[in-house]
Amino acid sequence: MTAHREMRSSRRLWGFRIAAVLVGLSTFGLLELLCWAFDWGRSDEQPDPFVGFRQIRPLFVLDREGESGPPGQRYHIPKGRRLFFAPDSFLARKPENGFRIFCLGGSTVQGRPFSKETSFPTWLRLALEAAEPDRDWEVVNCGGVSYASYRLVPILKECLQYQPDLFIVCAGHNEFLEDRSYSDVKGKPQIVVRSHRLLSHCRSYWVYRSILLKLAGESEPEGSRHRTVLPAEVDARLDHRGGLESYHRDDQWRAAVVAHFEVNLRRMVSLACSAGTPLIFVLPPSNLSDCPPFKSEHRRGFTERQRSEWERLIEQARRRYRTDVAAAARLLRQALTLDNRYALTWYEFGQCLETLRQYDQARQAFLRARDEDVCPLRMISELDRAMRRVAAETKRPILDAHRLLEGQCPHRILGDYLLVDHVHPSFRGHQIIANALADVMAERG
């Protein structure tokens, strides 16, 4: 009898606990609905939690001198911005039947190492004009050399005032070019960082946070004193003496870069959504088979004895590659068991597998070589996954330009066949991307 009463009491206690949790969740849900109903706590209105800028200059100004057409009738990129951007312009008064697209990204969008005239935004305009010649198509190239996602957010925000009909965002290659400390993030446990990332999707979180800051008498956002303040234009580490030497493996910093990238993508989606403007993501291509990693480093804890054995295996593999590729591949596989983080070993292993016609395994080895690059100038897999995650969760279309071009290559491994260097597409590559974008636009109406 006593046991029966204890069981009933225990059930009642658990019932109260569950009810309390449900009441708390329902209160949170109601608050979140109120925030959405009254448009409170929009994430795009929040400052960048990772970096600030000494100065933000507009990308476009009214052309009063008539450089791009009759004076005062077009917005254009001024000469002071053309160290990083190619000249481009659009009508100050948008035509009634006009459709205006802003393409944001880095040098891939701009068309480097060639010119804007051969970039995929230009090919996209030509494709759209051929499909609907009665419409006034404006495809504006906002591709900035070495521009990372955090530098694209202010540009997208500026472009909202120019009556956009569509944003196309192609980013991911330039996230590691500039130095940022991320000291505030690196000092926190991963569970705290992940929890903050999840909560930052909720509008009620930003409202609650804003109230707490006001009550505490703080005008600056939390962590702003830890933010890196960047110059108005790109200051790439590789542009300085010893730039490559300054890169070392730092997994915490890399994770912070990925988190920042995801925040920036979400902010751009939120900004576009607030204006009712569609946005398409483009996952940029990178050279796998014909681009060795830019810098390799051994894993931590690599002893001198292990290094000697590793060097012996690598030397033998390179010597055997000329006469016995299968033997070279076996030796490289042994070297990878000693150190599976040395990027160049993965690349050489991939070359052996490609020669042996083991193409799927070769592609995986080339991907690992790219991802282990200590100086990552190509979009790594973590950034790839972040863009896909944001696109899926925000229901935005994404064009995988890497897979698109890869599908046109022999053995489906992207290399010099459609890329001219580590990331930039050939003329044909740009055309393929543009045609695919036109198809995405047609599918979305």
What tens digit of pLDDT does each residue of 158-181 get?
999 999 999 999 999 999 999 997
More confident residue, 28 or 58: 58
Mean pLDDT of the region 369-380: 99
Task: Tell me the residue length of the chain.
Answer: 445
On whether the CB atoms of residues 374 and 297 are closer than 8 A, the answer is yes
| Token duo for residue 193 | 């960082």
DSSP 28: H
| Token duo for residue 29 | 């849900």
In the predicted structure, residue 149 carries a pLDDT above the cut 60: yes
User: Tell me, what's the pLDDT at 50?
Assistant: 87
Report the percent of the chain where pLDDT is more than 90: 75
Whole-structure pTM value: 0.84
In the predicted structure, residue 4 carries a pLDDT above the cut 70: no
Q: Where do the H-state alpha helices sit in 38-168?
A: 107-110, 120-131, 149-159
User: Tell me, what's the pLDDT at 47?
Assistant: 78
Ordered structural domains, the chain, with CATH: 38-290+377-445 (3.40.50.1110), 304-371 (1.25.40.10)
| Token duo for residue 299 | 């894993």
Closest CA to 166 of 66, 57, 279: 279
User: Tell me, what's the pLDDT at 222?
Assistant: 42
What is the three-state SS of 144-202?
ECCCCHHHHHHHHHHHHHHCCCEEEEECCCCCCCCCCCCHHHHCCCHHHHHHHHHHCCC
